[in-house]
Amino acid sequence: MANDEKNIAVPNEPANRSKAGIPGQLLKWAPYLILLLTALLYSKVIFNEFLAFDDANFILGNPLVKDGNFAKIFTTFADGKYQPLTTLSFALEYKLFGFDPMPSHIINILLHLCSTFVVFKIAERLSRNRITAVVVSLLFAIHPMHVEEVAWASERKDMLYAFFYLLSVFFYLCYTDTGYKTKYYLATAGCFVLAVFSKTEAVTLPMLLVVIDLYQGRKLAGKAIGEKLPLLAFSVFIFILGILSRGGDGSMEQITPASYGFINRIFLLTTIPAFYITKLFTPVHLSAMHYYPDMHNGLLPWVYYASLLFMVFIGWLVFRRGALRKELLFGAAFFAVTIGVMPQLISVGPALTPERYSYIPYIGLFYIIGQWMVRVALPRWQAVGIAVFLVFIGACGMITWLRIDAWKNSMSIFTDVIEKNSDVADCSYFYWLRGNVKVKDNDLRGAIEDYDTAIQQHPGYIDAYANRGGAYFQGEDMDMALADYNEALRLSPNHAQYYYNRASTKASMNDLAGALLDYDTFLKFRPDNNAAYTDRGMVRLGLKDSSGACNDWKKAADMGNETAPQLMQQFCH
């Protein structure tokens, strides 16, 4: 049986210096130095803004956040997802600070720091080597693929889930190391529940605990199986619930992997782990969106077919006999289990390999690197091995520091996605998003240019026509605004808001009869909209229908419209 946490040490390691020539005092303070370095590296995230990309739905526009009703939060799916603990954290923030992005970003950074420390303790317990723990936690802390998690406020769900997931793993290691004490099992289960309530992807934990048992040489029988059954039952229940409730962002194009055909789907599947493995060592060309590929003559780009050969090679490295075979099998299994529910087998958007999905799975690969450093690199090459590792760490730190800038605000991240993908994918959604930001910044010409590009890339893009019409309307180009609203309604004749917008445009063009018809149509869809009654009353007044105008204003006033009583006082006698 392994020793308890306070007794963990490298066997026969001198008190003042490790076998690799690293001073013992430096190793002692290493986890705290890593936390300090990470805090400094991510310090400018504090000044990032909320993004018009999930933040609008999950935080700013989430009624559960504003209501703060505890019972409702735990019995409601937020935007098609069950993540009550995440929603509760945003609700508490709103109650204390309002919609201020700074507290959200500070909490995300703190969660990343806490997870980094837990990763250190997990790696230390698994390896019984502090150097391995330093390597693993340092890579976890500063790797550029993790910027998306920390710098994006909406990724609180991943940050919370990861922290409690990792804490559950740590308590499980305490449980197996200390004679299976009940308090550690209960802590494991409790943290698991909190992880699942943060994000349903935490359901992989029971399988990961099996992987840990095998790595530690524990037989999978009797107690080892029985203790995981309650966790597994809860996982199955939550996983099924998540599948049944899953919804996508209706404004983003939905991709169905089945449309690629059976053979190509195999290569899409092998591309996913190949992508994450290569990005671990070459974290460049990072983006908030890595699209599904376009097909040309029924074929994928060649790199997707090459991914199968690459994964065969990786499989050979993992399963071949060697000094690190056990660590390779464990690290690969850790990676495979934790990323297992992530591949877009049932897609809810155009992203094949989101960078944020690497957050926990990379720990398995980092563990392999850490053990390789201790057993191979440092004994053989010592100073050279340390130098190479430090150069890689320095490069990761620099890329991370620069990558944080892309997440500063909506304009920066949308522009980054467009620049990284416009030559290889349909970026119409991000042109549309950036156009919306430009409208808010009163850059109407720039917004219209982005809407133009969105429509060129996606000719049937209804929202792009509608929003371009709004930009033309604000710029007082009513003919162009009317043309866009006509096209939007041709493509989507049951969209109520487009009738309202076109009515306002026609009224501005003095086509009062046409405006009246559109207001009538809108109110058939939305009879409870008091502003529409007020506006229709103004149109009726222009058509010399004073009685109809006063009736509309009365309805609007009864519904609580503040302008309608003033109009009644002025025009209705």
Q: Do 274 and 303 touch, CB atoms closer than 8 A?
A: no
Neighbour tally for 21: CB within 10 Å: 10
Q: What is the spatial distance between Cα 364 and Cα 370, in angstroms, rounded to a whole number?
A: 10
Is residue 544, in this structure, part of any structural domain at all?
Answer: yes
Q: Do 523 and 532 touch, CB atoms closer than 8 A?
A: yes
Q: How many structural domains are present in the chain?
A: 1
Helix (H) or strand (E) segment spanning residue 138: helix 130-142
Q: What is the spatial distance between Cα 157 and Cα 83, in angstroms, rounded to a whole number?
A: 7
Q: What is the spatial distance between Cα 175 and Cα 144, in angstroms, rounded to a whole number?
A: 33
Q: What is the spatial distance between Cα 335 and Cα 219, in angstroms, rounded to a whole number?
A: 22
Tell me the backbone φ, ψ of residue 77, rounded to 5 degrees.
-90, 125
Amino acid (1-letter code) at residue 565: P
- Say which residue the tokens 């040489």 belong to: 217
Q: Tens digits of per-residue pLDDT, 505-555?
A: 999 999 999 999 999 999 999 999 999 999 999 999 999 999 999 999 999
Is residue 125, in this structure, part of any structural domain at all?
Answer: no
- Say which residue the tokens 């920390």 belong to: 150
pTM over 0.75: yes
Task: Take residue 74 and report the two structure tokens written for it.
Answer: 């735990």
**What is the DSSP code (8-state) at residue 26?**
H
Is residue 201, in this structure, part of any structural domain at all?
Answer: no
pLDDT in tens, the chain (573 residues): 334 434 433 333 434 445 555 667 778 899 999 999 999 999 999 999 999 888 888 899 888 898 878 888 888 776 667 889 999 999 999 999 999 999 999 999 999 999 999 999 999 999 999 999 999 999 999 999 999 999 999 999 999 999 999 999 999 999 999 999 999 999 999 999 999 999 888 999 999 999 999 999 988 888 889 999 999 998 888 877 766 665 444 344 444 555 777 788 889 889 999 999 999 999 999 999 998 888 888 888 899 999 999 999 999 999 887 888 999 999 999 999 998 755 554 554 677 889 999 999 999 999 999 999 999 888 888 788 888 899 999 999 999 999 999 999 999 999 999 999 977 778 999 999 999 999 999 999 999 999 999 999 999 999 999 999 999 999 999 999 999 999 999 999 999 999 999 999 999 999 999 999 999 999 999 999 999 999 999 999 999 999 999 999 999 999 999 999 999 999 887
Q: Identify the CA nearest to 515 among candidates 482, 488, 544, 546.
A: 482
Burial class (CB in 10 A: 0-12, 13-18, 19+), 174: buried
Is residue 188, in this structure, part of any structural domain at all?
Answer: no
Cα–Cα distances in angstroms (integers) from residue 7 to residues 11, 129, 170, 477, in the given order: 10, 12, 15, 75
Burial class (CB in 10 A: 0-12, 13-18, 19+), 346: exposed
**What is the DSSP code (8-state) at residue 144?**
G
Which pLDDT score is estimated for 9? Answer: 39
Is residue 440, in this structure, part of any structural domain at all?
Answer: yes
Which pLDDT score is estimated for 4? Answer: 40
Tell me the backbone φ, ψ of residue 99, rounded to 5 degrees.
-90, 70
Under 8 Å CB-to-CB from 189, ≥6 apart: which residues?
168, 230, 231
Helix (H, G, I), strand (E, B) or coil at 296: strand
CATH code where residue 508 lies? 1.25.40.10
Which pLDDT score is estimated for 263? Answer: 86
Is residue 463, in this structure, part of any structural domain at all?
Answer: yes
Q: Identify the CA nearest to 274 among candidates 185, 208, 343.
A: 343
Is residue 251, in this structure, part of any structural domain at all?
Answer: no
Tell me the backbone φ, ψ of residue 118, rounded to 5 degrees.
-65, -40
Is residue 520, in this structure, part of any structural domain at all?
Answer: yes
Structural domain span for residue 566: 426-571
Cα–Cα distances in angstroms (integers) from residue 317 to residues 305, 339, 360, 405, 535, in the given order: 20, 20, 22, 37, 71
- Say which residue the tokens 């605000």 belong to: 409
Q: Identify the CA nearest to 430 among candidates 444, 413, 448, 406.
A: 413
Cα–Cα distances in angstroms (integers) from residue 197 to residues 77, 160, 172, 334, in the given order: 11, 9, 19, 22
CA dihedral (103, 108, 114, 117) positive or negative: negative
Which pLDDT score is estimated for 3? Answer: 40
Which pLDDT score is estimated for 21? Answer: 54
